[in-house]
Amino acid sequence: MAPEIFQGQKYTKASDIYSCGMIMWEFMTGRRPFWDRNHDIELIIEIFDGLRPPIVTNAPEGYIELMKECWDSNPDKRPTANDIYTRIREIRENEEKNSDNKDPTKIIESSDIGPVTTNHLGAIYKSRPLSGMINSAMSLRSLRSQSINLEKLKRSKLLFTNYLGRSIKREKLYENEGNYFLVNVYQFLNFII
């Protein structure tokens, strides 16, 4: 599922292109994306934040680049279906030329390629309503982001330098009904103005 869908945007041709990139990955590896992990709100958050399946094999020149373009987090930067058709056709033609020259892309042996007999117990590949899970994931992501910003604010020391070059440090924060306020910043600003 394309990351923009997690933000409540509607399905578009661009979100289908994202899915096409996932299918390209399946063709390349013989595995389903994220087969080895829980399909839960943590995965939704990580996909929204840029997680994509790992590139684990060689492929014909241009294939991996095209696949990654399909996965772009910005739907406007993804190729169109016509672009994909044209580029895959070019990739195939180049491979045919290379095979005539006895230099085709070699298939490598790897434990990361090929079908797996068991998926992670939490990997669910059946159609199901996801709106509740998506809402929970986006709420959790937002809370984490706010928490991280608050921790940075708590840990950082405010360093102000007045016109004489003297430093004044303000570290104290007050909590007032869940909101944090810097102490005496207003007074300090009045002092240096």
pLDDT of residue 87: 97
Q: What is the pTM of this model?
A: 0.59
User: What domains lie within the chain, and their CATH numbers?
Assistant: 3-117+127-142 (1.10.510.10), 157-192 (no CATH)
pLDDT of residue 12: 95
Q: Residue 124 and residue 138: Cα distance in Å, rounded?
A: 20
Q: Residue 180 and residue 155: Cα distance in Å, rounded?
A: 13
pLDDT of residue 173: 44
pLDDT of residue 177: 40
pLDDT of residue 111: 58
* Mutual angle of helices 131-155 and 41-48, in 10-degree steps: 70
**Contact criterion met (CB below 8 Å) for 31 and 116:** yes
Tens-digit pLDDT string for the chain (193 aa): 898 987 888 999 999 999 999 999 988 888 888 878 887 888 888 988 899 999 877 788 899 999 999 999 999 999 999 999 999 999 999 988 877 666 655 555 555 555 555 665 555 555 555 566 666 666 766 776 766 665 655 555 444 444 344 444 444 444 444 444 444 444 444 444 4
pLDDT of residue 188: 46
